[in-house]
Amino acid sequence: MGLHHAGGAEKRLLANALLDWSNQRFVLVSESCVPVFNFRTVYEYLVNSAHSYVESYNMDVPQCAGRYNPSMAPDVKEEQWRKGSEWFELSRDLAVDVVADHRYYSLFRRHCTPSCYPDEHYIPTFLHLRHGPRNANRTLTWADWSRGGPHPARFGKAAVTPEFIAAIRNNGTRCIYNGKPTTVCYLFTRKFAPSALPMLLNLTTTLLDF
């Protein structure tokens, strides 16, 4: 995928989803993602949330602050630069603001160099600048980064068991939901290989109430 195709594709996906007025929450997942809770749990978690869910942070490392281009100032200063998971969740009004934005997106088109990935920086930076208090500053999609490298672990059919999904649900993480502590921090998980599909389908009745 080209440098700016990912960021532009996100905006186009949101724009098309916004055409349906019944859509109030917008979640970006990939073909390798699956839910770890049933539909009702996911739906109620999102529609009752006071926040959107976009991971957004700044670290003094080459993969984060090192990608900042000073030419983006003064609209985006170095201390305002953010990075985060490309798998996000937005409320309708924040999705409208992302789609309508030209000011910041044009900066990314001009100054996000080949070592910079807009899908990891544009929306996290935009939300930080425009709607910081309304962002929970975390992703809802769990991934296993414990093995190191540029990509998370990939799970095949051998990994897919009820115990594995239960371990993701109850992985010891604590977070804040509507101002209160909770252990329900991830609604989705990745990254699953195509070979895992039959096993995932076998679990849908018992785990996801499908």
- DSSP classification of residue 34: E
Show Cβ contacts of residue 86 under 8 Å, excluding neighbours closer than 6 positions: 6, 10, 28, 119, 120
- Judge whether 98 and 90 are in contact, CB under 8 Å: yes
pTM of the model as a whole? 0.90
Contact indicator for 135, 87 with CB cutoff of 8 Å: no
Per-residue pLDDT of the chain (210 residues; tens, 9 = 90+): 344 456 788 999 999 999 999 999 999 999 999 999 999 999 999 999 999 999 998 866 566 666 888 898 999 999 999 988 899 999 999 999 999 999 999 998 898 877 888 888 999 999 999 999 999 999 999 999 888 777 899 999 998 998 998 899 988 899 999 999 999 999 999 999 999 999 999 888 777 776
Predicted pLDDT of residue 1: 39
Using an 8 Å Cβ cutoff, are 186 and 152 in contact? no
Tell me how crowded residue 157 is: count the other CB atoms within 10 A of its CB: 16
Instruction: For residues 121 and 112, give the distance between their C-alpha atoms in angstroms, rounded to a whole number.
Output: 9
With residues binned 3-state (H G I as helix, E B as strand, rest as coil), the percentages for the chain, rounded to 5, are 45, 10, 45
Q: How many CB atoms lie within 10 A of CB 137?
A: 19
Q: CA angle 155-157-160, nearest 5°? A: 75
Give every CB contact of residue 13 below 8 A, 6+ residues apart in sequence: 28
CB 98 within 8 A of CB 123: yes
